[in-house]
């Protein structure tokens, strides 16, 4: 039987969710197995998709196009191209790994995995939708399980963090919905189709208004300064696997929204906004870096480092060059791997020590040599060591934007210095120095945890050494986007 590959990606987790719901409540092991198998199959399908994908085509591939609500011209329309492919890979991989990390969840297991699988559907659907209506539905479907996942299984201030996350994102997405509907009514014929919309040429004034409406929705998700205040709360309170998905996937939904919707459909407004985007990017990079440096809580430090690193994505978006946009998209993928790894590592330490206070550690490398090495490897990737993934994408972003926004690019380099500073400072406090006797009996990282981290480290290394492997998939689609934007093909 020839199953539509993208639909099976999106709806397999829903099937898994139904299985979990009808499973007996106390069979925790069985429920975990369902979750792992389902996300595992999703990952396998993604790998198959990766091999079946034709890299040199810039159009949508594996398109599924079925009429859903004809009165509103809504289609069930899925497709994948070079922009969504890396996001799909990151989502499936992190979903699978975080699912294994979720074995530590001990209470209300059934509800956890049901919501978790619903979340996976929402994330994959968001990246695969070509119809704005469908996109919005999946975007919102992500919200609800996330609220519960933070609110039920989170830390001490979980309820506050959950509702803050929810209300921020909901408020943003309401404005996004206004923008989407305005696009629908402004287009001829009325359509929600992203590809058809990008063929419409809208007046500049209209584009600017819609760009700002969509900007609210995306900026809150990224998050762009000053809309970032939900992020430290949500990341810190969320359980480890959910932090991984929040930082690894949900933040990218915002920047993906720019690449997929705002830029191709509203190119003139994107041009108009790009200097401001650049300024916001620099603020994010520098501010995020400084705040990360000041943190005492390990997880909060990683959370703020995300604000800083996502700033590079925005800088790449502001540049309008192939190199810059390529770098931005690659940075989205790399940051998913790196920050996912860092959150997993924070979780490993927290599971053992039950604290994340950086000052309470010290000399852990001697006690946990494997853990220490992995932490250093991923930290080096995060601070942009050449040969690892983070360097490639950040370098590309800086190179792409230097010609356009020279001073902003130079200012952004402070962010790289800061990243080195806060990460090395963290390593010094956690791994080096005198061993705190309280932690004398901590066991080293176990096989399961290593298994979760190895794929991430492998990808970080491969992309770092041979970036062309990733770039060959994304360049055609990005070049196409640059042509629409009228930017520089370099």
Interface residues with other proteins (CB under 8 A)? Answer: 69-72, 111, 136-137, 140-141, 143-144, 147-148, 151-152, 158-159, 162-163, 166-167, 170-171, 174-175, 177-178, 181-182, 184-185
- In the chain, what are the helix, strand and coil shares in percent, each to the nearest 5? 75, 5, 20
Start-end of H helices in 154-257: 158-186, 194-199, 204-221, 230-237, 240-245, 251-257
Provide the minimum distance between the beta carbon of 137 and other proteins in the complex, in angstroms, as a whole number: 4
Indicate the residue among 5 and 152 with the shorter CB distance to other proteins: 152
Q: Which of 104, 145, 95, 114 is nearest to 34 (CA)?
A: 114
End-to-end distance of the chain based on CA atoms, in angstroms? 44
Provide the minimum distance between the beta carbon of 182 and other proteins in the complex, in angstroms, as a whole number: 5
Provide the minimum distance between the beta carbon of 148 and other proteins in the complex, in angstroms, as a whole number: 6
d(CA 383, CA 389) in angstroms, rounded, equals: 10
Indicate the residue among 213 and 310 with the shorter CB distance to other proteins: 213
Provide the minimum distance between the beta carbon of 164 and other proteins in the complex, in angstroms, as a whole number: 10
Provide the minimum distance between the beta carbon of 420 and other proteins in the complex, in angstroms, as a whole number: 39
Indicate the residue among 183 and 470 with the shorter CB distance to other proteins: 183
In this structure, how many other beta carbons lie within 10 angstroms of the beta carbon of residue 432?
Answer: 16
Give Dmax (Cα) for the chain. 71
d(CA 10, CA 95) in angstroms, rounded, equals: 13
Q: Which of 28, 438, 481 is nearest to 489 (CA)?
A: 481
Cis omega before residue 189 (within 30°)?
Answer: yes
Instruction: Check if the beta carbon of residue 283 is closer than 8 Å to that of residue 228.
Output: no
Indicate the residue among 175 and 202 with the shorter CB distance to other proteins: 175
CA 59 to chain CA centroid, Å, is 23
Query: The tokens of 303 are what?
Result: 């959370």
Provide the minimum distance between the beta carbon of 168 and other proteins in the complex, in angstroms, as a whole number: 9
Provide the minimum distance between the beta carbon of 143 and other proteins in the complex, in angstroms, as a whole number: 7
Provide the minimum distance between the beta carbon of 167 and other proteins in the complex, in angstroms, as a whole number: 6
Residue at token pair 């497709």? 79
- Which residues partner with 65 through β-bridges? 77
Cis omega before residue 223 (within 30°)?
Answer: yes
Indicate the residue among 175 and 365 with the shorter CB distance to other proteins: 175
Provide the minimum distance between the beta carbon of 181 and other proteins in the complex, in angstroms, as a whole number: 5
- At how many degrees (to 10) do helices 109-128 and 132-153 cross? 150
What dihedral angle (degrees, nearest 10) is formed by the CA atoms of 148, 150, 151, 157?
Answer: -170
Provide the minimum distance between the beta carbon of 146 and other proteins in the complex, in angstroms, as a whole number: 12
d(CA 295, CA 39) in angstroms, rounded, equals: 34
Rounded alpha-carbon distances, angstroms, from residue 269 to 127, 157, 262, 390: 23, 40, 8, 30
Indicate the residue among 167 and 417 with the shorter CB distance to other proteins: 167
Residue at token pair 């069985």? 30
Indicate the residue among 227 and 298 with the shorter CB distance to other proteins: 227
Query: The tokens of 181 are what?
Result: 């509907």
Q: Which of 54, 131, 127 is nearest to 95 (CA)?
A: 127
Indicate the residue among 178 and 421 with the shorter CB distance to other proteins: 178
Indicate the residue among 111 and 394 with the shorter CB distance to other proteins: 111
d(CA 307, CA 343) in angstroms, rounded, equals: 14
Cis omega before residue 226 (within 30°)?
Answer: yes
Indicate the residue among 56 and 71 with the shorter CB distance to other proteins: 71
Provide the minimum distance between the beta carbon of 163 and other proteins in the complex, in angstroms, as a whole number: 6
Indicate the residue among 190 and 448 with the shorter CB distance to other proteins: 190
Provide the minimum distance between the beta carbon of 320 and other proteins in the complex, in angstroms, as a whole number: 29
Indicate the residue among 162 and 303 with the shorter CB distance to other proteins: 162
Q: Which of 134, 129, 160, 28 is nearest to 73 (CA)?
A: 134
Indicate the residue among 74 and 249 with the shorter CB distance to other proteins: 74
Provide the minimum distance between the beta carbon of 177 and other proteins in the complex, in angstroms, as a whole number: 6
Enumerate residues 6+ apart whose C-beta is below 8 A from 82.
55, 58, 473, 474, 475, 476, 477, 478
């Amino acid at each position: 039987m020839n199953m539509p590959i993208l639909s099976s990606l999106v709806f397999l987790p829903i099937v898994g969710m139904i299985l979990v719901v009808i499973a007996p409540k106390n069979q925790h092991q069985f429920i975990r197995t369902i979750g792992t198998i389902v996300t595992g199959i999703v990952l396998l399908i993604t790998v198959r998709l990766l091999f079946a994908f034709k890299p040199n085509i810039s159009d949508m591939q594996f398109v599924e196009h079925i009429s859903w609500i004809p009165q509103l011209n809504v289609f069930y329309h899925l497709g994948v191209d070079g922009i969504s492919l890396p996001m799909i890979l990151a989502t499936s991989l992190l979903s699978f790994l975080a699912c294994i990390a979720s074995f530590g969840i001990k209470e209300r297991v059934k509800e956890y995995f049901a919501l978790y699988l619903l979340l996976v559907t929402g994330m994959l659907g968001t990246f695969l939708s070509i119809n704005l209506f469908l996109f919005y539905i999946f975007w919102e479907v992500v919200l609800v399980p996330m609220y519960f996942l933070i609110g039920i299984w989170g830390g001490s201030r979980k309820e506050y963090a959950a509702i803050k996350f929810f209300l921020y994102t909901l408020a943003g997405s309401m404005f996004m919905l206004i923008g989407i509907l305005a696009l629908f009514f402004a287009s001829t014929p009325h359509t929600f189709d992203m590809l058809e919309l990008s063929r419409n040429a809208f007046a500049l004034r209209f584009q600017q208004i819609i760009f700002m409406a969509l900007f609210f929705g995306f900026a809150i998700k990224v998050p762009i300064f000053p809309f970032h205040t939900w992020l430290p709360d949500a990341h810190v309170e969320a359980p480890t696997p959910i932090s991984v998905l929040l930082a690894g996937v949900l933040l990218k939904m915002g920047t993906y929204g720019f690449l997929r919707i705002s830029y191709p459909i509203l190119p003139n407004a994107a041009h108009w906004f790009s200097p401001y985007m650049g300024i916001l990017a620099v603020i994010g990079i520098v501010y995020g870096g400084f705040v990360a440096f000041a943190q005492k809580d390990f997880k909060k430090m990683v959370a703020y480092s995300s604000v800083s690193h996502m700033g590079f994505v925005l800088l790449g978006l502001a540049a309008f060059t192939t190199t810059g946009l390529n770098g931005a998209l690659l940075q989205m993928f790399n940051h998913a791997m790196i920050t996912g790894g860092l959150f997993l590592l924070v979780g490993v330490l927290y599971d053992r020590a039950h604290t994340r206070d950086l000052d309470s550690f010290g000399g852990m490398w001697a006690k946990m040599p494997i853990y220490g090495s992995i932490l250093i490897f991923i930290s080096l990737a995060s601070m942009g060591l050449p040969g690892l993934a983070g360097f490639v994408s950040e370098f590309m972003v800086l190179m792409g934007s230097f010609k356009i926004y020279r001073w902003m690019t130079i200012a952004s380099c402070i962010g790289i210095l800061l990243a080195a500073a806060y990460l090395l400072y963290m390593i010094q406090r956690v791994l080096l120095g005198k061993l705190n006797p309280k932690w004398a009996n901590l066991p080293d990282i176990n096989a399961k945890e290593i298994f979760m981290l190895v794929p991430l480290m492998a990808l970080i290394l491969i992309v770092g050494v041979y970036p062309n492997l990733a770039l060959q998939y994304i360049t055609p689609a990005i070049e196409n986007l640059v042509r629409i934007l009228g930017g520089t093909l370099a």
